[in-house]
Amino acid sequence: MRPADFRDHLVDLLKNSPEVQQVAVPESGPYPYALTATVAGKECRWQVIGQLADGAKHNTPTAPVEGQPPAWTDAPVSAAPDAWLAGVIGRSEPVDVERLKVWSADPAKSSAGVTVFFRNGERAFVRLA
């Protein structure tokens, strides 16, 4: 899924999440494909970065592939922001997602984010900006 499409998808998921008070898409700023979400009184800014599937071109859509929803772990709003966001994504039971990787669960990572591995070979990197 392309970054703008996945950002819009995240906006819809977050708007329907009971822990979220407000969701917005900034009109300008240093981060393209960004969104802000106020969760439990704290504002988080996320940026979506995309990676095409091998051999895919920007001017043609990648075919959707469906399967079973990915395994995921629910995390409370008090957990690491990226773990909580991965739970929001997982609860939606996305059939086009193969797996989710939470960056804060990896001791080698120094930033927070989620890598979304799509079944069609594309990836979305959702980083806390």
Look at residue 34 and tell me whether its pLDDT is greater than 80: yes
Residue 59: per-residue pLDDT:
83
Q: Report the candidate in 61, 15, 57, 56 with the shortest Cα–Cα distance to residue 39.
A: 15
pTM of the model: 0.92
Share of the chain above pLDDT 90, in %: 77
3-state SS, residue 15: helix
Find all residues with CB under 8 Å of 58, minimum gap 6, and list them: 52
Across the range 103-110, mean pLDDT stands at: 89
